[in-house]
Amino acid sequence: MINKERLVENFINMAKISSPSLKEREVADYIKKQLEEIGLEVIEDNAGEKFNGNAGNVIGILRAPGKKKVLLSAHMDTVLPCDKVNPIIENGIIKSDGTTVLGGDDKAGIANIIEAIRVIKENNIEHPEIIVVCSIAEEIGLLGAKEFNIEKYSPDYSFILDSSGKPGAGIVQTPFSAKGTIKIIGKPAHAGIAPENGINALTVAAHAITKLRLGRIDSETTSNIGMVRGGEAVNIVMPEVTLHYEARSFSGEKLDNLLKETNDIFENISKEFGAQFENGVTKGYSGYHFNEDEEILSYFKKACENVGIEYSTKSTGGGSDSNVYNEKGFKALTLAIGMTKVHTKEEYIEIEDMVNTTKLVVELLKEIA
């Protein structure tokens, strides 16, 4: 029932289109044309305008009056480098030529959704109302999902095709997150003539960092300083330093406690040295956790059984558009689709996994109809 050649060709066509975050215009137009050809009502919202992007979320609707509503989603943007992607098929695997990412994250998810709906239409399969959302700017903070008016469409269930791992795995737990900058403002002075007249911002930061909990804090919580920037010249006592910080935890309470602890350390050490401290860390997406008896999981499990794919659940340390939709009160489950080594030039996906993911989507729609 799945047209493997058509599925692969469609994915490769999209993979070749450069679509970094907020520059999704060309791939958005390609997807709109595909959805219109299938017979969906297609619109594009204005999500990109808020962030100076050149495209909005692409939304397609396949009506089924009186039926339940199912949202299927994947994001259009990819991480860099994504210009001049050259997909190669080798031994049943699609990969790039090694100079760019492949873009399976998340164009494979879009290809799966489009092929599944084609199969539904071609075979006159009974289906729920289907809402397709191809979102923008997922990779830089789930921006498209945050701007998408999910309340307007009110899906009963949402499935986000955007995780590594074999098809059949559903993401039932994701972390709460926070990130931003921490700035220490010291006092400049000539480093060779009068260093005692200055306050070295890096020294202040270093003393604070020795007291922080960083890395893997416990089984639920991580914390990291990923970038440090500061200084004006080698002969000037460093007047300012900015630290780029993030933290995640499956426990919202643990994250709150960690953020307070981190703030207090920097605040106290800064006072001790006579420096100033600016905390620009803000909370991002909220985590979620599904119990095994959730109805959305029962549909997914049954779909896996129907097509002979092993069902499993897992947690992940990353976020996806599901985090936004769950926070807004709409049940959303992220599905693994087989993408591997994402965000690297070694990224690849097995064609068999693409076919199996598409089968699962078709079966999910049949089960919920």
Catalytic residues: 77, 138
| 196-229 exposure pattern, b = at least 16 Cβ within 10 A, e = fewer | eebbbbbbbbebbbeebeeeeeeebbbbeeeeee
Locate 84 and state its tokens.
Answer: 């001049």
Q: Are 162 and 340 in contact (CB under 8 A)?
A: no
Strands (E) across 108-153 are located at 129-135
Which CA distances in Å does 75 have to 124, 284, 336? 27, 18, 14
Report the length, in residues, of the chain.
369
The 3-state DSSP class for residue 24 equals coil
Reported as half-sphere exposure (CB side, CA atoms, 13 A), residue 256 has a value of 5
Residue 33 burial (C-beta neighbours within 10 Å; 0-12, 13-18, 19+): exposed
Q: Are 360 and 191 in contact (CB under 8 A)?
A: no
Question: The tokens 């897992």 sit on which residue?
Answer: 314
